[in-house]
Structure 1
Amino acid sequence: MATMTELSPTAGKYSQDVQGDEKLSPGKAPSLCPTRYGIAFITHLCNFIIVAQNIIMNITMVTMANSTNHQSQFNSSTEGLPVDSFDDPNNSPKSLPAGGLGYGGQFALWERWSPPNERSRLCSIAFSGMMLGSCIAILLGGNICQDLGWPFVFYIFGGVGCVSCLLWFVLIYDDPVTHPWINITEKEYIISSLAQQVSSSKQPLPIKAMVRSLPLRSLCFCSFSHQWLINIMVVYTPTYISSVFNVDIRDSGFLSALPFICARVVGILGGYLADFLLTKNFRLVTVRKIATVLGSLSSSASLVVLPYVASSYITAASLLTLSCGPSLFSQPGIYINALDIAPRHSSFLMGASRGFAQISAILAPTVSGFLLSQDPEFGWRNVFSLSFAINTLGLILYLIFGKADVQDWAKERELTRL
């Protein structure tokens, strides 16, 4: 049996340019049923169920509260949140940040499983499960509540969660060395491609240096601002359609979910596009920033013009698709940037940045609910304009301060021996 010390570095080597950004030299990798892509799809399923379970909590809260009335009042939006609830800003919907710890844990995997020239696509495949979770929960959650009763939402999505956990426990391993079924060629390819990036030595987290790091600060704030945009689209898109165009939940279900279907496809394609640009000698930092711009600016701009130009239900659904669809271009941008600037600490950084970003899951609905209650006539314009302003500010900070080379505080500290 081959061990890590017996594997020779034959592929995926790094070379450094004068700016310190990493250029990736291509290596030959096995293409038939690679284990790393199987791990990406299992992670995709886990992300799907994490987000879906968060959303179904929003869907069922009102139905559970009204179940004692022996009649369904679940008739205003796919989210299960009546438009009347915005009359009281305290009733504004909040996406629950449950499962947030799982995001950071995934990066502990990709530290050891993702060759640098495939990192964008593997992470994009995994993260696109979040949009699939939004899509399926919005599309089916309301109908399940109406047709079968709200407990069945938990039975169905809870069952899928149990299946995903079982697959994770059986098929996911810490690294290629410990995986019992991986092809030896793929194992050698992955380990050799990461040989100059990941070290097995344990070193303490440089907390003070992290706090002072402008690239890390800009990454966290850009993640927060982009997640604000995502939360507005997930929580308020169905409510906007229902309240403005008076479309019944059963009629609006598919079109409400269509933007998230497009976003999932775009997220996967964006990862492949990012890796393709790297093979064309684009700098890594340039690729990350291009992806972030495509995922932020176009989405927020489409959303902010929505109340001004949407004269019909079809027009609104088209603009919402244009807004939500490109948003996942940011996956191979800011959302995996921690693997670039601090591969040794990326799992901690992604957990921290995700945790900071998830603050928007509470603030965005609360602030938006207040704006809608204070100004019923122009409330939607204010909500979408504020989302555009916050998202643009985060993008500007990232474009100015964002980096993609390993930071000094994240580099290996060599020990001298006497």
Structure 2
Amino acid sequence: MQMDNRLPPKKVPGFCSFRYGLSFLVHCCNVIITAQRACLNLTMVVMVNSTDPHGLPNTSTKKLLDNIKNPMYNWSPDIQGIILSSTSYGVIIIQVPVGYFSGIYSTKKMIGFALCLSSVLSLLIPPAAGIGVAWVVVCRAVQGAAQGIVATAQFEIYVKWAPPLERGRLTSMSTSGFLLGPFIVLLVTGVICESLGWPMVFYIFGACGCAVCLLWFVLFYDDPKDHPCISISEKEYITSSLVQQNGFLSSLPYLFAWICGNLAGQLSDFFLTRNILSVIAVRKLFTAAGFLLPAIFGVCLPYLSSTFYSIVIFLILAGATGSFCLGGVFINGLDIAPRYFGFIKACSTLTGMIGGLIASTLTGLILKQDPESAWFKTFILMAAINVTGLIFYLIVATAEIQDWAKEKQHTRL
């Protein structure tokens, strides 16, 4: 009788684990940036709400002390509106660059330095208000850009830190910090303004941000395999669930795309050699299949896939069936301009690369809104682009050699 030498599976740490601790750290980062963003909305009332004229000689000592603790400024309503909205300008401007560069550069450095910058600017807002309103606007705009970096780049963390079966819990734990931050601001700002003065609101949240930033640089690593403090069992659990599973699943669409591509080539030539369809009919048929099938599978994914395996199947079909274009638009240039086919392919490849760049950035922006349901919007947008491109191709496509592409014959008289 042969003994089973397999070791029992190791117990993987659950809620009390390092990955959940890092998710809570991201949660704290989100609390800080939303608190720093929202606190001016409340302190603005104290900063400008004054019915006493400034600088009168009979002002009491108590009022002088109050003015030192709570300095007030003659900002008109339109100036207040500009100050309050300046943060949004920074957030809007930074979104597209961050969505692109977050997948290229170190997430640790991007979030850490952005959180540090936002916290330092929070400390600088009270003295900036004393210098002039323009400085407050500049501080808030740059602070908004820094907060936008933290809010957007953090989703790149879960590519390497979140096992597939825990992504919902980890992302919800961290993003819930966006909701807790305003609650804390509403709870404590009034008390701080009354007892310590409104500048202390910015000093306190700025100091808290600096402390969290220090913890961030100490505790967070871009890749779990590089972290010196995580346990071996948890490290193996995270890396094995992402590298092995993602590697295998990510390879399946290419396998099926290879099958569909070869099938398209065989069928297209079969239809032509048997005179079943004309050349242009074959090109339009396989182009329609290569555009419509991925769109259909992508749109059906949110509604017809209820299990993990059904999701995988729909994703594979959506990615693989696009290879039917190999028998259609992919070689249509050879029909209309064989002399310039290489140049046509170079131009179309360049256009496709630009489209891929835009798609990656746009997907990152959509995903930022909601890490889970935003994928549905992405697939619907993909389907709309496919259908629009297909309609245009079906209208203008031809398979006859164009006059400008015909080789000219030179004869002697």
**TM-score for the superposition, normalised by structure 2:** 0.43
Greater RCO (CA < 8 Å, at least 6 residues apart): 1
**TM-score for the superposition, normalised by structure 1:** 0.43
Q: Which structure has greater helix proportion?
A: 2
